Amino acid sequence: MSPSRALADVPIFFVFAWVRVALWWTILLAIGIEALALHLLFALTWRRALWAAVLVNVGTAALGFIAYPLVGTLSYPALAPLVMQTFGTGQIVEIAAYCIAAAIIDTPIELGLLALLSRAAGYGVRIGGKAAAVFFVANLLSAAVLFTAIQIGPRQHPVDAETRRLLDGPFNEEVALVATIFDELSRHRDAEGNIDEAWRAALKAQAEGLDFVQLEIATGGRIYPIVAMPTGGIGTGMTFTYEDDRYDGAAMVTRGTVQRYGASPPGAPRDVLHYRLFAEDAAHPYSVQAILPFP
């Protein structure tokens, strides 16, 4: 009923399996890396090495949807604090940890599938410590490719011309204030990530008269509203939809809608633009997000 922070993050292991499938070209590279390892380790022909790599990766992909969340549920609560204490927190650290964890999970699965394939097809493969080590390195290389793809891929999608026009024109002042808050944030928060309340009050005054649906700062594990989303009182709330993430330099820009529910009558969906700047600070990752009313 009240999950810990670590347990609340466990479902991303299942999402991670889908991400690997979505980035299908990284799987092709993984197959190539493992085919090379099989060819060099066991002197298999390229044809046999490639088929073996394909088959074990198909098996690993299928079993991964079960193995990732299962292993995550059992290990994450113990490993997450160790990772955070050693490397800090943030999206880059988290994705890197998942990639390494995937390599650790995939290696014994692939070795087991390879042993079964060898018996069935007469490959004569004998798996020992050397083979296990080489396959683990091959999986780490594949994980490095996946990590790079996750980090670089989304940034290849710039905002469309209409959104670009709004950011440079009608939303120019709002975007400028978001950038100012982001640049000044490090000077107005303490070692635990808590921000200076006097500074926040000054920001609220600056935001008055600008066209924000919502403006907030996230740091130190807390959310600090600058312009709060109006919900309409007790018994009402807001639902959100999101489209594909786009990038405007360092800013993540996402089209979507907000809609009030629980109200009488219920509000109609309102088109909005989510504009977010974020930093992967090792101690306390932070971000500034604005929701702007899309015309």
DSSP code string of 156-217: G-BPPHHHHHHHHTTTHHHHHHHHHHHHHGGGGB-TTSPBPHHHHHHHHHHHTTS--SEEEE
Residue 192 scores a pLDDT above 90: no
Strands 237-248 and 222-227: unpaired
Site of tokens 């999101």: 242
- pLDDT of 252 above 80: yes
Mean pLDDT of 38-56: 88
150 falls in which pLDDT band (50, 70, 90)?
A: low
Q: Across residues 264-285, what is the average pLDDT?
A: 76
- pLDDT at site 182: 94
Considering 42-46, 83-87, 151-155, 222-226, the range whose residues carry the highest mean pLDDT is 222-226
Closest to 279 in 3D by CA, of 13, 99, 93: 93
Count of beta carbons in the 10 Å neighbourhood of residue 260: 19
Average pLDDT, the chain: 79
Whether the ω angle into residue 158 lies within 30 degrees of 0, i.e. cis, is no
Q: Is the pLDDT of residue 88 over 70?
A: no
pLDDT winner (highest mean) among 98-107, 205-214, 220-229, 255-264? 205-214
Q: How many alpha carbons lie under 13 Å from residue 183 in its C-beta half-sphere?
A: 6
**Residue 83 pLDDT exceeds 80:** no
* pLDDT at residue 266, rounded to an integer: 60
Q: Are 197 and 222 in contact (CB under 8 A)?
A: no
SS3 state at 65: helix
Task: Kindly state the percentage of the chain with pLDDT values over 70.
Answer: 73
Q: Which residue carries 């018994």 as its tokens? A: 235
Helices 46-87, 24-42: axis angle to 10 degrees equals 110
Higher-confidence residue of 185 and 237: namely: 185
Does the pLDDT at position 274 exceed 50?
yes
Q: What is the pLDDT of residue 61?
A: 75
**Per-residue pLDDT reduced to its tens digit, 95-134:** 677 777 778 888 888 888 888 888 887 777 788 888 888 8
pLDDT of res. 205: 95
